[in-house]
Amino acid sequence: MPLARGSCRRRLTAHLSGDRGIRSRRLDSLPRHGSVHPHVVPESRFGVWFISSEIWSEYVLRAALDDLERLIPHRVESYPTILDFGCGFGLSFQMLHHRFRPRQIVAIDCDRRMLAGAHLAAQEMQHSSEVLAASGIAIPLRNQSVDMIFCHQTLHHVVDQKAVLAEFYRVLKPGGLLLFAESTEPFITSWIIRLLFRHPKESQWKAAEYLAMIRNAGFTVTPMSVSYPYLWWSRKDFGLKEYLFGLPLRPQHAETLINLVAVRD
């Protein structure tokens, strides 16, 4: 389903330019700047703009969902309750609804610059969507109340990642799915990413380390449910060597992305 470009997009632009008349639930509880929790590193000004852009929605978000969807074991038609963790401006809502037919999407973020935009996106939906201001250290949901968690390019902003994964395990129903897409340490520590974005240096991991961390949190991840895409935007040269000069990829390149589907046993 194409990303909606109508009134939600226009109102999101107004929000970014300073019109914050519409607020998300609990938005007033957030500090005026930064994150709701000291264990989450807030995004840079450039990063906030980037994850509201068409580049992000088409080449990062949609590409990740395309890959994750094919990795799901024993796919069912509908996942009734989906938690979108680190929802940003809510550009994933329509995509999640189109692919997984939830009855409810619960969206969480802790950046006030994004939450009002996510609230606007939720208003455009014709099914139940709730936007909450919260961190992953204490997700405001009951035990075993969620069928699917979508965590896309978010965990690398969190310092206490093990605590977040423990919360994921707590709120997921037995047999529930964690759709996890993340950039790895070789990409996050590249000079261009360090220049334009903001991340905790001590919480960046290689692909194999992320996989081990999720398994150690109690999740099952089969080899058939893991992918290591090497997309052009995740390479140090942004794919220019291949595109301009036809140079083949190095077979032993460091993995810059990991996508996986984990099952809560």
Q: For 178-200, what is each residue's pLDDT tens digit?
A: 999 999 999 999 888 899 898 99
Compute the distance between CA of residue 92 and CA of residue 122 in angstroms, rounded to an integer.
10
Per the structure, the count of domains in the chain is 1
For residues 18-28, give the mean pLDDT. 36
Q: Is residue 2 included in any domain, yes or no?
A: no
Where residue 243 falls among pLDDT bands split at 50, 70, 90?
Answer: low
Q: Is residue 211 included in any domain, yes or no?
A: yes
Q: Is residue 1 included in any domain, yes or no?
A: no
Where residue 240 falls among pLDDT bands split at 50, 70, 90?
Answer: low
Beta strands at 146-152 and 81-85: parallel, antiparallel or unpaired? parallel
Using the structure block, give the residue that is written with the tokens 């070789």.
186
State the residue range of the domain holding 228. Answer: 7-264
Which CATH number fits the domain that encloses residue 113?
3.40.50.150
Percent of the chain with pLDDT over 70: 80
The predicted structure's pLDDT at residue 242: 64
Render pLDDT for 153-165 as a digit per residue (tens, 0 to 9): 999 999 999 999 9
Token digits of residue 103: 């009855």
Strand partners, 105: 82, 129
pTM of structure: 0.83
Token digits of residue 72: 């799901």
Q: Is residue 33 included in any domain, yes or no?
A: yes
The predicted structure's pLDDT at residue 173: 98
Instruction: Give the CA radius of gyration of the chain.
Output: 18
Token digits of residue 138: 């204490």
Compute the distance between CA of residue 50 and CA of residue 70 in angstroms, rounded to an integer.
26
* H-helix segments, 84-226: 93-100, 112-123, 161-171, 185-188, 191-196, 207-216
